Amino acid sequence: MSENKTPQDVPDETPQDADEARAPEEARAPEEARAPGERPATDDAAHKTDETGAEPDDAASEVGDAASAPSDDPGRPDGDGTADVAESPAPRPSRGRSVARGIGLTVSGLALLAAAGGAVVAAAAWPAGTAERVAPDAVEVPAGPVTTVCAGPPALATGEGMSVDPELDAADVTPSSLTQLLTLPRENGGAAEATYTPIEGDAQDLARTGQVRALQVVPDSTGILRAEPAGDVAALPAGATLTRTDAGDLRGLAAAPCLAPQSTSWLVGGGTDLGQSAQLVLTNTGDTPATVTATMWTTIGVADAARLAEIVVAPRSETAVLLEGVATGDPALALRVDASGGQVAARVQDTQLDGLVPAGVDVVTPAAPPALTVTVPGVVLAESSMDDPASSAVRLVNPGEETATATVRLLGPDGEVDVPGAEDVVLDPGAVLDLTLAGVEPGAYAVEITADRPVTGAVVLARVGEPGEIDPDVAPVERAWTPSAAPATSGVLVTPGLGELVDTATLTLTNPGEEDAAAELVPVGDGGALGEPVTVTVPGRSTVTSDAAKLAAGAVAVQASTEAPAGLLAATVLTAKAADGELVSVLPLSPDPHTARSVRVDVR
């Protein structure tokens, strides 16, 4: 559409202007007038600079760059699904670049038309080639403080008293808890300084103990661990809360790692069926309110959960929501927790009762986001059969709007193991499904889930105990959740309460690649001394184990690393022997924050 102009808007035409106006016509000279492969004459005109020395093409490029710049919304994917990096705001252009951009944008309209004419001919002479995508580089984000959230001990969501066998000792039904906190040394410096601040208490410093900084507390509530940079790299903190209860409604071993706040968290686990309680706990460590919206998937699809929308979590505080008040009577849940205005640490406290008999307590922590392949480490299976009142199971989640087909296989000591009935499993859109692992040979595995649509998942381990006097016909059950995770090249495996609240701490290492991988394990003893590195070979597509107690006396943590391109998956499986059966819980690898802060930057 042409624009109407008044006579005063039209400048007098100069001979130079007339020449420039004729340029497009000359550019349309017959193609045969040029020799094959001869460069069009107008290309030279298109590349001439104006009076200021700025090239018209540069001006067009600047405009194009501004139009195609990625969204400023952190965490919102760009066209290829790569999220912006909130920690690294784009640098402001220098003054010189700003001036150059301004000059480039003052090119006259006639000059731009001449350039466009040349571009038409150039396109005819030299057709556009196939564009090649340049792989994005990893860019180091400057080191800053590392903040993690350490859960408090589990508690009954109702606030009511527990169902307790009157013959039991009071000590058996009283939870015993500890929170173990560490910062480990970096190669070029010591362990970073750190403080731990309970939400309901005063800050405490981690004290230098041997080669690490450490603190062990008996928690009453959730706490926040803040570790300062170790020189020019991020600190290497790790921590976990462990609670053991031998009887009563909260019977079980519940362990949870200290979690980094996130903008989006996937929680796979829990349920709201009869006797079940699932409590979503949100912790905001920031100085501004965070607004949270959670999407919940069930066995029959996405739940209509208005109560999970626009939940405001005040600064440095915690909010809990009972999921049975949102969707009742569903045995299998999964959630995506999205936060805006700040990041939150999200977890689900999962408790179950079978009548008056305890049926498990544990903490559900974030799983890997949906992908075509996800892997769950730390799957140590006990003897089981289809006749057992409870069995270990794989939970699959299809959050998409199209049907997915998934296959589940195990990566064990001797390689891949097929799971009967777990091949080409159809997952309805928005549905959650549990697949039993009953009858699988006991041992240490990882569960690999592959699908034709993005899915995610987790595994719940089950241990069946011996019936007691409270109900001689019903056996107590212990349950432990282990989430899917991404392979890593470095991290820390925490072993809280070893020799005190737990009897064994088994490290599981899984190699998802085809080639053998070497893992280096460096234990941290109870005096803070680093033990001698131990190298463990993990065959391709396999899982191996290591006993933390044999690596160092009183081990409180083990640093694990590998140079394998595919990385490794690792977890700590904790067990304790109660009077009526085994208690179990699983802690995932705490990733190295320095490695995690090396992010992709995709320049388009």
Same domain, 114 and 246: no
Looking up tokens 């066998």 gives 165
Cα→Cα distances 71→82, 93, 342, Å: 11, 18, 18
Collapse the DSSP code of 48 into the 3-class scheme (helix H, G, I; strand E, B; otherwise coil) and give the result: coil
Same domain, 287 and 255: yes
Q: Is residue 87 part of a domain?
A: no
Q: What is the pLDDT of residue 136?
A: 59
**Residues ≥6 apart with Cβ < 8 Å to 136:** 82, 600, 601, 602, 603
Query: What one-letter code names the amino acid at 232?
Result: D
Same domain, 114 and 154: no
Q: What is the pLDDT of residue 595?
A: 79
Phi, psi dihedral angles at 57 (to 5 degrees): -60, -35
Q: Is residue 345 part of a domain?
A: yes
Q: What is the pLDDT of residue 139?
A: 63
Same domain, 171 and 25: no
* C-alpha dihedral, 508 to 509 to 512 to 517, nearest 10°: -160
Same domain, 184 and 110: no
Same domain, 511 and 584: yes
Same domain, 425 and 390: yes
Same domain, 106 and 147: no
Which has more pLDDT, 265 or 469? 265
Q: What is the pLDDT of residue 132?
A: 53
Q: Is residue 424 part of a domain?
A: yes
The least confident of 54-63, 345-354, 437-446 is 54-63
Phi, psi dihedral angles at 285 (to 5 degrees): -90, -5
Q: What is the pLDDT of residue 143?
A: 85
Q: Is the model's pLDDT at 38 over the cut of 50?
A: no
Same domain, 116 and 145: no
Q: How far apart are alpha carbons 180 and 582 in whole angstroms?
A: 23
pLDDT digits (tens, 9 = 90+) for 152-184: 999 987 644 444 444 445 556 899 999 999 999
pLDDT digits (tens, 9 = 90+) for 292-330: 999 999 999 999 999 999 999 999 999 999 999 999 999
pTM over 0.85: no
Reported residue count of the chain is: 604
The least confident of 94-98, 143-147, 207-211, 270-274 is 94-98
Binning pLDDT at 50, 70 and 90, where does residue 74 land? very low
Domain span at residue 36 reads 14-67+99-125
Binning pLDDT at 50, 70 and 90, where does residue 133 land? low
Instruction: From 180, 181, 174, select the one nearest 154 (Cα to Cα).
Output: 174
**Residues ≥6 apart with Cβ < 8 Å to 384:** 391, 392, 437, 438, 439, 440, 442, 462, 464
Q: What is the pLDDT of residue 189?
A: 81
Same domain, 436 and 320: yes
Q: Is residue 81 part of a domain?
A: no
Which has more pLDDT, 6 or 258? 258
Q: Is residue 86 part of a domain?
A: no
Q: Is residue 8 part of a domain?
A: no
Q: How far apart are alpha carbons 428 and 424 in whole angstroms?
A: 13
Same domain, 371 and 406: yes
Q: Is residue 90 part of a domain?
A: no
Q: Is the model's pLDDT at 548 over the cut of 50?
A: yes
Q: Is residue 290 part of a domain?
A: yes
Structural domain count, the chain = 2
Q: Could you tell me if 481 and 515 are in contact, meaning their C-beta atoms sit under 8 angstroms apart?
A: no
Q: Is the model's pLDDT at 108 over the cut of 50?
A: no
pLDDT digits (tens, 9 = 90+) for 343-377: 999 999 999 999 999 999 999 999 999 999 999 99
Binning pLDDT at 50, 70 and 90, where does residue 84 land? very low
Task: Retrieve residue 283's tokens.
Answer: 């912790």
Which has more pLDDT, 604 or 317? 317
The bridge status of strand 334-340 relative to strand 344-354 is: unpaired
Same domain, 278 and 338: yes
Treating both helix axes as pointing N-terminal to C-terminal, what angle do 95-104 and 56-67 enclose, rounded to 10 degrees? 110
